[in-house]
Amino acid sequence: MSCPGAAARDDQLPRRSSEASLRSPPTPSTMPNMLPIRPNPEPGESLTGYLVRLSGANLHEPRFVADLVGVQIPCIDPGDHQLETLAKLTGKDVGRLAAMAYRKSGPSVSRSRYGARHHRLSFLGHSVVRHHLMDETRQVCVACLKEACHHRILWDLRLLDTCPEHGWRMLSKCPHCSKDLRWNTTSIDLCGACGKRFPAAQEREPQEVISAARFLRDLVQYGAAKPELVEDLSFLQTLDVLEAVAVAAQRAHDSDGRPLHPAVERTAKSPTATAYSLILSGEHALLDTLRASAAVTRNPVLDEANPVLPLVRAAGRMNGSRFERMVMSFVRERAAQSLMASA
């Protein structure tokens, strides 16, 4: 069995089924016997990760337990009834299970920005949009799994590409079969497609990349201070800015085709770290990047093809913030250039 110790952590093995319950079809009162091994949720574990671990401990596919509970895998926004069913099946506190779930919170955000994944969800006490969370696919830190074999909530943040604890790049594809990691596995440390365990040997990422991952971790876990340029933005807005700056920075090169900012070269494999380094560098570095990035298309107007457009759109929803003012001054500069070019 994978995830050694999962079964050993069980604290409430039920007594063996009576003959009567073996003969009877499952009813709510006999349902607990269908999952005799009931590991405790681990600190920082996601509900989907727990469902997979619970399934594996009882030698089932995740689908089996998901059907018992009446949810999908991955499990997003389970209803009260589903959480109560899971609590009955496992003997765990329903409030604790609810805290591991991402539940709808507040009205959805405009589809124009996030498409179909525009629902607002609570994520460790923060309001996020589903767009910012992993979905059908998952990512893992193999070093973390060696220490404790469960899925961390933090890994579901799509912008997190490096483990803040170990500095290893998060694994999102299986090194053996190259398939995306999905939830179709009986153990978090195994690839569901080829069944192999992930190899545990990676190099640490550059310090800038680890710093960006630690910023995200601290922002999520402790509401840590943000860089000056984004200090008055919400959690969701900060994620939006990181994502949009990363898109713009990927296209910002000097006339020799080299990345414009040294931080961009050092963080080439991590768009999130590139964005974080630029935001840390301050307004001038970011404006230089936007100018270089906007120049990749000849059209002076910021059209759909321009890599700066997502950033301008994101800033448009940050009324009165320092970041919005910076981006709007850039847009005015761009508009003036456009006027001069057409004169």
Query: Using CB under 5 A as the criterion, which residues of the chain lie in contact with Zn ion when the complex forms?
Result: 141, 143-144, 163, 165-166, 174, 176-177, 191, 193-194
Q: Quick one: 131 or 166, whose CB is closer to Zn ion?
A: 166
Rounded to whole angstroms, the Cα distance separating 244 from 315 reads 9
Q: Quick one: 179 or 325, whose CB is closer to Zn ion?
A: 179
Q: Quick one: 141 or 149, whose CB is closer to Zn ion?
A: 141
Identify residue 338 by its one-letter amino acid code: S
Q: How far is the CB of 195 from Zn ion (least distance, A)?
A: 7
Q: How far is the CB of 176 from Zn ion (least distance, A)?
A: 4
Token pair listed for 266: 């050092």
Rounded to whole angstroms, the Cα distance separating 53 from 56 reads 5
Phi and psi for 45 in degrees, rounded to 5?
Answer: -85, 145
Q: Quick one: 126 or 166, whose CB is closer to Zn ion?
A: 166
Q: How far is the CB of 184 from Zn ion (least distance, A)?
A: 11
Q: Quick one: 191 or 279, whose CB is closer to Zn ion?
A: 191
Element (H, E) at 210: helix 207-222
How far CA 143 is from CA of 128, 171, 180, 301, in Å, comes to 27, 11, 19, 47
CB of 102 closer than 8 Å to CB of 121: yes
Q: How far is the CB of 178 from Zn ion (least distance, A)?
A: 7
Q: How far is the CB of 99 from Zn ion (least distance, A)?
A: 22
Q: How far is the CB of 112 from Zn ion (least distance, A)?
A: 36
Q: Quick one: 143 or 268, whose CB is closer to Zn ion?
A: 143
Q: How far is the CB of 141 from Zn ion (least distance, A)?
A: 3
Rounded to whole angstroms, the Cα distance separating 337 from 331 reads 10
Phi and psi for 273 in degrees, rounded to 5?
Answer: -70, -35
Q: Quick one: 141 or 327, whose CB is closer to Zn ion?
A: 141
Q: Quick one: 141 or 279, whose CB is closer to Zn ion?
A: 141
Token pair listed for 22: 């073996």
Rounded to whole angstroms, the Cα distance separating 94 from 75 reads 15
Rounded to whole angstroms, the Cα distance separating 100 from 54 reads 14
Q: 70-89 as b/e, with b when 16 or more CB fall inside 10 Å? A: ebebbbbbbeeebbebbbeb
Q: How far is the CB of 191 from Zn ion (least distance, A)?
A: 3
Q: Quick one: 52 or 229, whose CB is closer to Zn ion?
A: 52
How far CA 338 is from CA of 16, 226, 232, 343, in Å, comes to 78, 34, 31, 9
Question: What DSSP state is assigned to residue 26?
Answer: P
